[in-house]
C-alpha cells in the first residue's frame, strides 16, 4: 500500500487531499498542529491504516518524531509527501513585525524543508518518490498587503525547482501546486464583497474548491506524472495567466 504524508490535513485543502488519496488506496498520515478534534474525526472517517499525527512542522524535533512514528506505524517510509501546512499574513508591508514574518517563514518554508529532509532518505534509497509543495499564485506574481506571504510562497517555488534538480537522478519528483483563491478558512479575513470581486476577476467566474487542488495533487503523485518534475502548476480559474 502506498503511503502519503499530508501536512495540515485536518482542514481545508489538506483535508480534501487526505480524503481523495485515501479513496484512491493510499495509507494517509494526517498531520495536524492545533486542530486535534478535526484530525481525529478524519482519522475515524478514513479508517485504518491511516493515522493522525500531531506535529508543528516548524519544529525539527516534532517533525523527526512524526516521521519515526509514521515509519513504525506503516512499517515503511512515505512514497508521497504533500507539504500543505501553511499560514497567511495580511497587512501593510510596513506594519508587519519582523517576529510575525519569522514565524511565517518557520511554518511556510522551514516546515516543507524539514519534511523533505526527513522524507527524502527513504525515497532516495528506493529510487522512487514524489514531493508536492503547496505554494500560491501570490508566490508567482506577488500580492499587495500580502508581501511577506508572497515571499514565503516564492521560496517554495525555489525549493521545488532546486530540489527537483538535486534528487531527479534518484527518480524522485518534486513539483509545486500554486493555487489561486480557494474556498477554505484561509479566506476568513476577506469580506463577501472582496470574495465577489475576486470571482469577477477570474475568467472561470468562481473561486476554487479544495477538490480543484486535491485532484491535481493525486495526478502529480500518479504513475502518469513520472516525467513531470520541477514544475509549478497553478489551478486558479485563469486568475493568473
**Residue 179 touches ligand NAP, criterion: CB under 6 A:** yes
Minimum CB–partner distance for residue 170 and ligand NAP (Å): 26
Whether residue 42 contacts residue 16, with contact meaning beta carbons closer than 8 Å, is answered with no
**Residue 56 touches ligand NAP, criterion: CB under 6 A:** yes
**Residue 32 touches ligand NAP, criterion: CB under 6 A:** yes
Please pick, from the candidates 20, 134, 159, 164, the single residue that binds ligand NAP as defined by CB under 6 A: 134
Q: Which CB atom, from 85 or from 130, has the smaller least distance to ligand NAP?
A: 85
**Residue 123 touches ligand NAP, criterion: CB under 6 A:** no
**Residue 31 is placed in which grid cell?**
498531520
Q: Which CB atom, from 87 or from 128, has the smaller least distance to ligand NAP?
A: 87
Please pick, from the candidates 3, 6, 12, 113, the single residue that binds ligand NAP as defined by CB under 6 A: 12
Minimum CB–partner distance for residue 47 and ligand NAP (Å): 20
Please pick, from the candidates 184, 202, 229, 234, the single residue that binds ligand NAP as defined by CB under 6 A: 184
**Residue 232 touches ligand NAP, criterion: CB under 6 A:** no
Instruction: Write out the DSSP string of the chain.
Output: --EEEETT-SSHHHHHHHHHHHHTT-EEEEEESS-HHHHHHHHHHH-TT-EEEE--TT-HHHHHHHHHHHHHHHSS--SEEEE-------S-GGGS-HHHHHHHHIIIIIHHHHHHHHHHHHHHHHT-EEEEEE--HHHHH--TT-HHHHHHHHHHHHHHHHHHHHHGGGTEEEEEE---SB-SGGGGGS-HHHHHHHHHTSTTSS-B-HHHHHHHHHHHHSGGGTT--S-EE--STTS--
Active site residue 219: no
Minimum CB–partner distance for residue 127 and ligand NAP (Å): 29
**Residue 67 touches ligand NAP, criterion: CB under 6 A:** no
**Residue 11 touches ligand NAP, criterion: CB under 6 A:** yes
**Residue 35 touches ligand NAP, criterion: CB under 6 A:** yes
Residues that bind ligand NAP (CB under 6 A): 7-8, 10-14, 31-35, 56-58, 84-87, 107, 134, 136, 179, 181-182, 184-187
Amino acid at each position: 500500500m502506498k503511503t502519503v504524508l499530508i501536512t495540515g490535513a485536518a482542514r481545508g485543502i489538506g483535508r480534501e487531499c487526505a480524503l481523495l488519496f485515501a479513496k484512491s488506496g493510499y495509507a494517509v498520515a494526517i498531520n495536524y498542529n492545533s486542530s486535534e478534534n478535526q484530525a481525529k474525526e478524519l482519522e475515524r472517517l478514513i479508517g485504518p491504516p491511516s493515522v493522525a499525527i500531531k506535529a508543528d512542522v516548524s519544529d525539527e524535533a516534532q517533525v523527526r518524531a512524526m516521521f519515526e512514528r509514521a515509519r513504525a506505524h506503516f512499517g515503511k517510509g512515505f512514497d508521497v509527501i504533500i507539504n500543505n501546512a501553511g499560514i497567511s499574513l495580511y497587512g501593510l508591508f510596513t506594519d508587519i513585525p519582523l517576529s510575525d514574518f519569522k514565524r511565517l517563514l518557520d511554518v511556510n518554508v522551514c516546515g516543507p524543508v524539514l519534511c523533505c529532509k526527513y522524507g527524502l532518505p527513504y525515497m532516495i534509497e528506493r529510487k522512487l518518490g514524489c514531493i508536492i509543495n503547496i505554494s500560491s499564485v501570490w508566490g508567482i506574481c506577488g500580492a499587495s498587503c500580502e508581501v511577506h506571504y508572497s515571499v514565503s510562497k516564492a521560496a517554495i517555488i525555489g525549493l521545488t525547482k532546486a530540489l527537483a534538480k538535486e534528487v531527479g537522478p534518484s527518480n524522485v519528483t518534486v513539483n509545486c501546486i500554486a493555487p489561486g483563491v480557494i474556498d477554505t478558512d484561509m479566506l476568513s479575513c476577506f469580506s463577501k464583497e472582496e470574495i465577489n470581486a475576486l470571482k469577477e476577476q477570474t475568467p472561470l467566474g468562481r473561486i476554487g474548491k479544495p477538490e480543484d487542488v486535491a485532484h491535481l495533487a493525486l495526478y502529480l503523485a500518479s504513475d502518469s506524472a513520472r516525467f513531470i518534475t520541477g514544475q509549478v502548476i497553478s489551478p486558479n480559474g485563469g486568475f493568473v495567466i
